Structure 1
Amino acid sequence: MTSTTRLTAAQALVEFLANQWTVDGDIRERTIPGMFGIFGHGNVAGLGQALAQLHAESPGRMPYFQARNEQAMVHQSVGFARMHRRRATLASASSVGPGATNMLTGAALATTNRLPVLLLPSDTFSSRVADPVLQQLEQPHDTGLTVNDAFRPVSRFFDRVQRPEQLYSIALAAMRVLTDPVETGAVTIALPEDVQAEALDVPQEFLRPREWRIRRPLPERQPLLHAATKIRSARRPLIVAGGGVLYSGAEDSLRELVEATGIPVTTTQAGGGAMLWDHPRYVGGMGATGSTAANRLAAEADLVIGIGTRYSDFTTASRTAFQDAQVSFVNINVAAFDGYKHGVQLPVIADAREALVALLAELDGFEVSREYSERIVREKTEWDAAVDAAFAPSGRIRPGQPEIIGAVQSATDPEDVVVQAAGSLPGDLQKLWRVRDALGYHVEYAFSTMGYEIPGAIGVKRGLEALGDRRDVVVLVGDGSYLMLSSELVTAVAEGIKIIVVLVQNHGYASIGHLSETIGSERFGTRYRAWDPAAWDFEGDQLLPVDLAMNARSYGLDVIEIASTPSAVRDLTAAMAAAKASERSTVIHIESDPLVYAPGGEGWWDVPVAEVATLDSTRRARADYESRRTAQRPLLGGAS
């Protein structure tokens, strides 16, 4: 007879999660080493009780972490997962209704970034004995619909445990997706509040330790040979390295291939760190916010080798980056969905590391021409000089963002991690930040979520500490994003999690302000100014009397304020040194000039401009837009 234990559905789920392990080669670690939770009537008697009981019986088996916002719980889990290269993540439990829907943005972010998170939103009564309950959404056309159904389009897996015995199949299916390199993303299990508290006889087999081995599929022989033949015949090949290189642990294999062949490498935002900045064949970030070196080589490339990239519009510069009439593509990707994008006819559907190892063997003896090598060196040298110039202190009392980035960079250690997500900083960081460690660059730019930065960085630090890694985590955040989720700093204070936050205040939305100018809207609605009742707008000169440094100090952090003087950049460097020496979290507040931009990288981003307008600025922008669009290509795949 099968041995069983009498548990509630919530107790069974928590016990199950505590016994799941991910295996990746020689690495074995807990898949879900902890759970966030904000409790309400929907889960306090279910998951809340289950976590309390397990903690009383066996502290540390499923640690419980607090957060101040449900969205921030998911962001922390994403940062954690990134540092663990998708082998581990954290679960996030919410109550019914608003607690659940607060996680939707985090779910979309995780799925878009192909990073695993486990979401456990509570749901309304499955029995409907109490109907409607507090916080229940009612739809007359579908009385079975709940707010949790909104998770379906933003999750890679969704199911609802309507009966306790459904837990077995649902939990196992959820774990499969969490640990699948192709399908991973947000995994959502909706838990009706009554079902959480119902008891069932749970088979011991369900509760025993279980291993989930990450698949590393090998490349098929014929596509691999076809790709190698294409590379050998190319005169100007270019590698575009994406996040898949890092999640596969393929950065060493990539470097070996590059050093053997001389092929230059550019990276996407997710791929930052796949090649280190000072490698002679690394030419910087790619696309709309990329370097001139990468974009000039891309424009003339006759073969583009994409490795672990999903080819977003920023990477392809809205399909204007690759201009050679006969350019063709080789896409190496574990996911066929990404491998076949843009009409590519040479996909190699395989794990990035396995494919690179196999490709290196097939390319034995191949090297790019001396002429092409010299061109790569010239472009890299020119771009490196442009970055040096952008970093040089100008003596402005309000330095530009490039100077601020340079000062922060100079004060960090090579292994430190920079975290960012939204605004003008992601573009400037892709151009300027000199990545010196494979895990040293974490810019969430797939969903580009304002407010991600602080909770994401706390998750990054959690992930590093779980690995025994003590490196510093540095957040660069504008005032717009800071105001979205700064409350999560309380979490850092409560648990003694050290992060360094460089708060760049420019009194508005710098990125969208600049974009607004380029499309002819003259920064309308992008400044933080007092409402002018006579003009009916926020376009005046009266700054808001908001003290963000005082706000950060009120959370219990150390705060260093950089005065607006000609020595601001030097003072920022000193403040970074003090923050690194401290054991506590520190916020460094500095005012910036939002009109000082990073050097142009010759990329473009397709943002449609109004086709008709009475504003002269908009009409001029439309003319420029139409000119730029002529370089777009409907398909990038090229001939096979």
Structure 2
Amino acid sequence: MSTIRLTVAQATIRFLVNQYSELDGVQQRLVSGAFGIFGHGNVAGIGQALLQNEIDPGPDGGSMPYIMPRNEQGMVHAAAAYAKASNRLQTKMCTASIGPGSLNMIVGAALATTNRLPVLLLPSDQFATRAPDPVLQQIENPQTLDSTCNDAFRPVSAFFDRIARPEQLLPSLMQAMRVLTDPAETGAVVIALPQDVQAEAHDFPEEMFHRRAWRVRRPPADRASLERAADMIRRARRPLLIAGGGVVYSRACQSLRGFADRTGIPVADTQAGKGAINFDHPQSVGGVGATGAVAANRLAATADLIIGVGTRYSDFTTASKTQFQNPGVRFCNINVKAFDAAKNGAEMIVADAREALDALSGELAGHRVDPAYADEIAREKEAWDRVVDECTHLGHGPLPAQTEVFGALNEMMGDDDVIINAAGSMPGDLQALWRARTPIQYHVEYAFSCMGYEIPAAMGVKMALPDSQVVSIVGDGSYQMLPMELATVAQEGIKVIYVLLQNHGFASIGALSESLGSQRFGTRYREGGVGADHTADGPVLDVDIAANARSWGIDVIDAHSIDEFRRAYARACDSPRPVMIHIETDLYGPNPPSSSWWDVPVSQVSRIDSTRAAYEDYRRERARQRHYLG
């Protein structure tokens, strides 16, 4: 067997540039580039290997383009956003130094795994030889010398391994590629690399570096499950289909629309599934759950059959198990992951969404919902459309409502442009109000709902979709969590548009706090001091976020009204540079009408009147919770 002498780091890069994903016969590079922040743990290992590849990529079989980020958490967010925009068929690798550098990636790893998005993380580790022990930034565990701080990745990873010897690298990398391309098991893949092992040379087998395609599976539905599901649908008087992210990743959107056309079954969506069916489709009834549309939630409340396709049924989707109130409601779930298919005591179809929907359409040939139910669906949809129009054209003043900004963007953005958001009150407003025409257009991270995601995510999405206008909406709270990747965006000349909504506080948690009797405590940016009243409306804190964005190298346009915002957006689109549009909005809304509930516990005893009143409301709402057992 012929061999090639390389360091572990060099072998890792050479292996990765020759790995491809394949779906429906189309292949593309699986790991298309690298983010990395270097320190003593990886500068002479993975850092040297990336440099060598950049100087002369020929012998490796391809290049591993490198981008220099500013924050380890931010770079993982960018990689996850890139993977989402690439339909999970491509991702980026991220490397960081030992100790704090690597631990900074843990939040990003959790986000990727929760959202079922493939990212490859290569955290550096302490010396495998233990010669310089303890090394700088090493955490010592008196109970065992075998654990390191990187063990903290284990509970938030889809796959974790540590390479103690060069011979371990090949089987570890092969398993890593399997998980990255497994539609059911994917998430954060973590291979911890001790800093001495990274630089250690070994004779690796030459065939390790041959081109390899990892085929993304499309498991079909079994006949018995299809027949049982079809029988449930025929018997149902008020079925409702909930489309999750699995529909999008399976490229099953056309199949879903065809299924809805033929059966007349209404389709609601989750945050990850929005756009799987176009908003103006007759059967599209909008978002479902705690931040959903009134139309979808009314239908969900009385549905006798819920058909979940590619959804993991988060508490926002089920309104903390209060959304589906029909006493006889049953569930039929199509999911490539059995763990999700089994939820709510469902009839399980463990299969690819596209394969299952096409097969189920065949089983249901000639079946259609009752005309009276079809008329009800149309009425609910029409009524909600009027509410959306009202919420997005309020003429609110003196400061505009954020819903008006969303409405303007929705009207100006193209079908293949992308809106990005992640946390605060905005995902709720967007799920309720955004009229998605394509699955590309809507990119809201709401499985981990991580503040700070929006800025690095825009970078990742733009790299995946260079021809799309990428618009990231950021609140002033999220901005202050993780702004530093603006410098990377400016350095790399990545053309994205940031829309900064400045409302001088945390709008979402403030409203939640008020509804729970906690009086918006600690949610407003106001001048004061130690011991100040943190519920008072004092002078606004004089923080100039627009100036801060300019200092990172971003062009900033100030807007003071919706008309000015529209003109600013046109200017931003025409600019070849990254741009931020800065606009002040009303901290207190108004927001879309609420039609559902979310379980956030309230103190059972309190000396505060507002808290006692809120607990009584909570007790009444919680009484509606139920387990769905089929």
Q: Does 1:602 find its partner at 2:601?
A: no
Counterparts in 2 of 1:182 and 1:534: CA distance versus 1, 3 Å? closer
CA contact (8 A) 2:233 2:239 kept: yes
Give the structure 2 partner of residue 203 of structure 1: 205
Output the CA distance in 1 between the equivalents of 2:529 and 2:72.
35
Give the structure 2 partner of residue 523 of structure 1: 520
For residue 142 of structure 1, report the CA deviation from its aligned partner: 2.0
Output the CA distance in 1 between the equivalents of 2:531 and 2:6.
65
Output the CA distance in 2 between the equivalents of 1:73 and 1:538.
36
Superposed counterparts of 1:35-54, under 5 Å: 35-54=34-53
Deviations 1:352-403 (A, max 9, x none): 0000010010000000011001100100001010010011141512111111
Give the structure 1 partner of residue 432 of structure 2: 431
Give the structure 2 partner of residue 75 of structure 1: 77
CA contact (8 A) 2:331 2:344 kept: no
Deviations 1:565-617 (A, max 9, x none): xxx01111111111112111110111111212322241110001111111111
Q: Which amino acid aligns with 2:598?
A: W
Q: Secondary structure at the match of 1:33?
A: strand
Superposed counterparts of 1:17-56, under 5 Å: 17-56=16-55
Give the structure 2 partner of residue 613 of structure 1: 606
CA contact (8 A) 2:75 2:456 kept: yes
For residue 486 of structure 1, report the CA deviation from its aligned partner: 1.2
Q: Secondary structure at the match of 1:106?
A: helix
CA contact (8 A) 1:532 1:538 kept: no
Output the CA distance in 2 between the equivalents of 1:498 and 1:431.
28
Give the structure 1 partner of residue 392 of structure 2: 391
Q: Does 1:624 find its partner at 2:620?
A: no
Give the structure 1 partner of residue 553 of structure 2: 556
TM-score normalised by length of structure 2: 0.98
Give the structure 2 partner of residue 173 of structure 1: 175
Give the structure 2 partner of residue 214 of structure 1: 216
| Equivalent position to 1:475, from 461, 469, 472 | 472
Output the CA distance in 2 between the equivalents of 1:15 and 1:571.
51
Output the CA distance in 2 between the equivalents of 1:151 and 1:627.
40
Q: Secondary structure at the match of 1:590?
A: strand
Q: Secondary structure at the match of 1:90?
A: strand
Q: Secondary structure at the match of 1:284?
A: strand
Superposed counterparts of 1:475-514, under 5 Å: 475-514=472-511
Q: Which amino acid aligns with 2:57?
A: S
Q: Which amino acid aligns with 2:512?
A: L
Superposed counterparts of 1:288-437, under 5 Å: 288-344=290-346, 346-437=347-438
Q: Which amino acid aligns with 1:376?
A: I
Output the CA distance in 2 between the equivalents of 1:610 and 1:533.
25
Counterparts in 2 of 1:108 and 1:273: CA distance versus 1, 3 Å? same
Counterparts in 2 of 1:393 and 1:518: CA distance versus 1, 3 Å? closer
Q: Secondary structure at the match of 2:465?
A: helix
Q: Which amino acid aligns with 2:520?
A: R
Output the CA distance in 1 between the equivalents of 2:268 and 2:481.
32
Give the structure 2 partner of residue 238 of structure 1: 240
Output the CA distance in 2 between the equivalents of 1:182 and 1:261.
28
Output the CA distance in 2 between the equivalents of 1:79 and 1:506.
26
Over aligned residues, Cα RMSD in angstroms?
1.1
Q: Does 1:586 find its partner at 2:604?
A: no
For residue 407 of structure 1, report the CA deviation from its aligned partner: 1.7
| Equivalent position to 1:225, from 227, 236, 249 | 227
Output the CA distance in 2 between the equivalents of 1:606 and 1:519.
11
Q: Which amino acid aligns with 1:52?
A: L
For residue 202 of structure 1, report the CA deviation from its aligned partner: 0.8
Output the CA distance in 2 between the equivalents of 1:337 and 1:27.
28
TM-score normalised by length of structure 1: 0.97
Counterparts in 2 of 1:24 and 1:491: CA distance versus 1, 3 Å? same
Q: Secondary structure at the match of 2:91?
A: coil
Deviations 1:227-279 (A, max 9, x none): 00100111110000000000100000000000000000000001111111111
Deviations 1:502-546 (A, max 9, x none): 100111110000000111000001111123346464735121111
Q: Which amino acid aligns with 1:577?
A: A
Q: Secondary structure at the match of 1:152?
A: helix
Q: Which amino acid aligns with 1:254?
A: L
Q: Secondary structure at the match of 2:590?
A: coil
Give the structure 2 partner of residue 570 of structure 1: 563
Q: Secondary structure at the match of 2:164?
A: coil
Q: Secondary structure at the match of 1:263?
A: coil
Output the CA distance in 2 between the equivalents of 1:308 and 1:540.
44
Q: Does 1:456 find its partner at 2:466?
A: no
Output the CA distance in 2 between the equivalents of 1:230 and 1:341.
17
Q: Which amino acid aligns with 1:436?
A: R
Q: Secondary structure at the match of 1:397?
A: coil
Output the CA distance in 1 between the equivalents of 2:397 and 2:354.
46
Deviations 1:443-484 (A, max 9, x none): 00000000000101110111113xxxx110111110000111
Give the structure 2 partner of residue 254 of structure 1: 256
Q: Secondary structure at the match of 2:120?
A: strand
Output the CA distance in 2 between the equivalents of 1:395 and 1:537.
27
Q: Secondary structure at the match of 1:138?
A: coil
Output the CA distance in 1 between the equivalents of 2:411 and 2:538.
34
Superposed counterparts of 1:263-278, under 5 Å: 263-278=265-280
Unmatched 5+ stretches in structure 2:
none
Q: Does 1:142 find its partner at 2:141?
A: no
Deviations 1:390-437 (A, max 9, x none): 111415121111111112222212221100000000000001111111
Q: Which amino acid aligns with 2:212?
A: R
Output the CA distance in 2 between the equivalents of 1:462 and 1:415.
14
CA contact (8 A) 1:285 1:430 kept: yes
Counterparts in 2 of 1:171 and 1:533: CA distance versus 1, 3 Å? closer
Q: Does 1:543 find its partner at 2:540?
A: yes
Give the structure 2 partner of residue 636 of structure 1: 628
Give the structure 1 partner of residue 133 of structure 2: 131
For residue 132 of structure 1, report the CA deviation from its aligned partner: 0.7
CA contact (8 A) 1:529 1:538 kept: no
CA contact (8 A) 2:81 2:458 kept: yes
Output the CA distance in 1 between the equivalents of 2:205 and 2:199.
18
Q: Secondary structure at the match of 1:331?
A: strand
Output the CA distance in 1 between the equivalents of 2:265 and 2:628.
20
For residue 624 of structure 1, report the CA deviation from its aligned partner: 0.7
Q: Secondary structure at the match of 1:573?
A: helix
CA contact (8 A) 1:410 1:573 kept: no
Q: Which amino acid aligns with 1:404?
A: V
Output the CA distance in 2 between the equivalents of 1:107 and 1:337.
20
